[in-house]
Structure 1
Amino acid sequence: MLSEKFIVELGIALQAQNHLLRKLASATSEIGSKLTNIEQKLSDTGVASEQLQALEKLMSDLEASQDWLEVEDFENFNVDQILGLYKQRQKHISVELIKIGFNDWESFVRQCQAYTLSQGIDPLAPYEALLTEADFEVLKEESFNAQFRWDKWDYIFVGASGILASLTDYFLVKIPTTLTTGQYAGQTSSPITEWIKKYDTTRGDDWFASWAQNLAETCKVPYDSMSYVDADSIKRITGIFPKSHRLQSLGHDPVLGFIFGVLDIMRGTITGFSYDRLTHSHTWLQGAVWSNLEPINLIEAILRQIGHLISDVATPMGLPAPFMTLIQGINVGSFGKGRHTIGELARWMYLNGYDFRHFLVSGITPAVIEIFLRAYIMLRHYAEHGEQRVNLTSHPKYRTMLLLAHGIATAGNAGKITLMQGNPLAINYAEWMAFIRYLMPSMKYWLFDQYQLKIEHLENINTNEWEQLLKSSDDILAAVTALDYPTVTLGKL
């Protein structure tokens, strides 16, 4: 870790050197004559090189004829002459260092500070003062944010996809059921949901209806019961009736059912919530249903769970939307004229047709964004980066684009709810889930990953520059060694 004192000293030295370099750049016409003088001064070093080459030749000759050498041949050989040549070269280098005024770091800093003061330069100016306009442009293009910068086309396609999804939600998804009475009377249902719900496996005679009816008979499950055994007596679940039993049992949830439903099948129990109309609250419950349970392995339980869900999906009440069975347990909030809790709203929505089939229809809204915007992003990425693979949901820019588009769609859904007098059936459950899906990793990126990725980006730039410097050095060394220059090599005495 660099100390603050060293950073300040380094800044002073760099300010002085920067000023000198700029002065040299503006006085290039005078360099020619100065180089001539420098060449004359350095000509003495050529003499030392010639002497070393002569000694090398002599040593080579000695090595080639060492078998014929005798002790008398070394009587006039003076080793101190060789050491003197190297001392002379070392002294010459020391003289050159003294000429530029460099004795040690502290004296060098003092000289730089004196120079900056004499030239009217602020010795404590920021490092940015050393950069030119070209340098700023390079830094701008190599910055971490440059790779995530948006242009006008990004904004256009994000806005267009979000608005198109909102229009789809309002005109196509609508609500699951046409309401003829009550506060929301006159609001019409989605034509797609209405068309899907016309198919009823309990009344159909086609192959799928026959298959579903057969599954209903063979895939019996304990959580289909509306009562359970409590202290050796059969107790009915509070608030349950045929239309609500699928909502109140977690086994009927299309997602959670593969956890709680499978466990209930293996244990012969029912897991879910009771509902008390007086207290307006849902209470967690779990009770035994099958007393003479035969052992059921995990694979059989999963297959029975799948078969039972298939048999229920196209019935008049259908299956609840994913996680709606769990949401009913949230006994907080006060919405509408009746001051209903979130759990009561979930119950009311399911009883009024908001089932798994309408959830699939509401998925059209996020699907519009995913198809429309992802197609643009992938084509844009291919045009700019070729066939380089990229995970759109992990790329900060692309994920933010998808998040903003879904944010526009969720805002549009909030407007739809307002226009429909706050009808909970107007909630686009699938769109809100898609928005949260992109919001959570984006928050993690903004709070934590962003700084780490910035450091990694800078390290990558430094690594690339260092590798380029090493490559350039290797190229220069290869070019120099390819030239036929005489080399100086010390022989063995």
Structure 2
Amino acid sequence: MKKNKVAKLNEKVLFEFGQAEKVQQSQIFDIQAEAQEIKDGLDTLEKMQADIYAEGKDLISELEELLTIVESQELSNDTKKSIDEYFDDYLESVQNLTSSTTYDIRRTKEVVTNNNWEDYFDRVSQYTKEIGVDDNEDPFLSLLGEQEYRKLEEEVDTEFAKQTSIVNKTDLKFLAIAIALEVAKGLLFPVVAEKMGYGDSFNPDNRLDHNDKSIEKAHKEANDAYRDKKLEKNSTGKWMELLYQTVPYDITAGTGNIPEINLHGGAHRLYTLGHDPILGWVFGTANILTDVITISPGAVVQSDNKWAELVKLAGIRSYKVQRKPKMMILPERVSTFKMFKDSYDIAREHPMNLPAAVFTEGQHLKSDINTKMGLPVPILETFSPDFASKLYTNHYDALCFARDMKIVGKSAIVSIVMDMLISLVHGLYYNPQKDGTRDLYEVRTRKILLIANTIGTSSNLIFSYCTQNAKSLDIGGLLVTLSHLFLDTRFLLNVKKEFVESRIYEKIEKEIKELDKIEAELLKYGEKHRDLYK
């Protein structure tokens, strides 16, 4: 269904609305002044006409007397001259009066009444500068007035709240159903998750030794197959050495010469980034190319040695690995920048060097992941070494983490599907005549989902806290609820913003139409009385 478009007003448009109102106000003031001057001119004309009429009556009386004298006797030349001068003076006075009146009326016609917006804009801007008024004030406040704007804002907020409130029976039914589903899911999650082994550690007895013959055989066969596949086109180069030599991050000898470092023997996989299931693809590949080992902060020995503590705070560290005459880690530090630069240079020496290093990294991770020591939880060691060490010691590794992430993902998918069904069914009850725009109706739908998810997640958190069982926590449902809090809240704010802007736009448009109406009436009045002062 097509959505109704709502006016979106940016700052420039809002400012132009404010300026338009100021222009209209300037027009109205000019027209009102013009109308007043026209009225004053008409009053003056009426008064002058009355005076002329009075003077005319007196003149007629005098003329009648003169006419009587003329008829009764012959006038002397002096008498004729005085009569002629009297008429000349009278005609001159009437002419002067008419000229003055015409000037007054023409002066009023100098007021500009057409819609020359650019001219008015310049006049208003110049005027505001002359009188020291801030021309960049809020156009809404200029247009509606501060009190009227606040009143309008309250009215719009009230109207929005009324149209998006969950108060009718249909919405309340959907809300009750959604809450029941979310709460039931949160309470059933621990039961289902327990059957799927959620949060459980692995049993080392069910894993292979790190040097198991089957692992070594599978590793060698994979290397041979890769070599044979690439050998025809790339018969020489360092890349074949990279396939078969021991990876540098598997070496622990030589750490005794570096007192602040301890790779903890068999637990070295936790502290070498080459064994990280995610970071290993970057650091492990670079280590293989350059014969360097990169360790995490957790490998720093806890002691009173201030230097050791500084080393730990410094983050990851890399050391050079020696292969002959004895394989061992050297105290020689290698900067991370130099390691990656050397990796880039070696990769450019032969087109197969980098692919072979990546293949070797992948095969090494594959051979280690199903052993008794497994691989550590990805990335955790770099920012929480103690927690990562605790998990690894309790046999919770990358495979356990991958299994739990699948369970979390499935839980999140179930929550999303439930929300989609509720949203779709609720959308079928939309009635344009009763519910307003589609966006306003969707606000109510999202409110239902937000409330239901929040209550469902809260019940699950309370259950987990009361049972003191972290495995009961529905992380998937929690993530979906958090997404609702962020995405739905943002949607609600955007819809409300558009709703408010639309109502204010309508108010502004109404005000401008009223100003145009007043202007039209004044112009009509001027046109009606134009013949009186032409």
**If the length of structure 1 is used for normalisation, what is the TM-score?**
0.46
**If the length of structure 2 is used for normalisation, what is the TM-score?**
0.43
Q: Whose radius of gyration is greater, 1 or 2?
A: 2
With a CA cutoff of 8 Å and minimum separation of 6, indicate the structure with the bigger relative contact order.
2
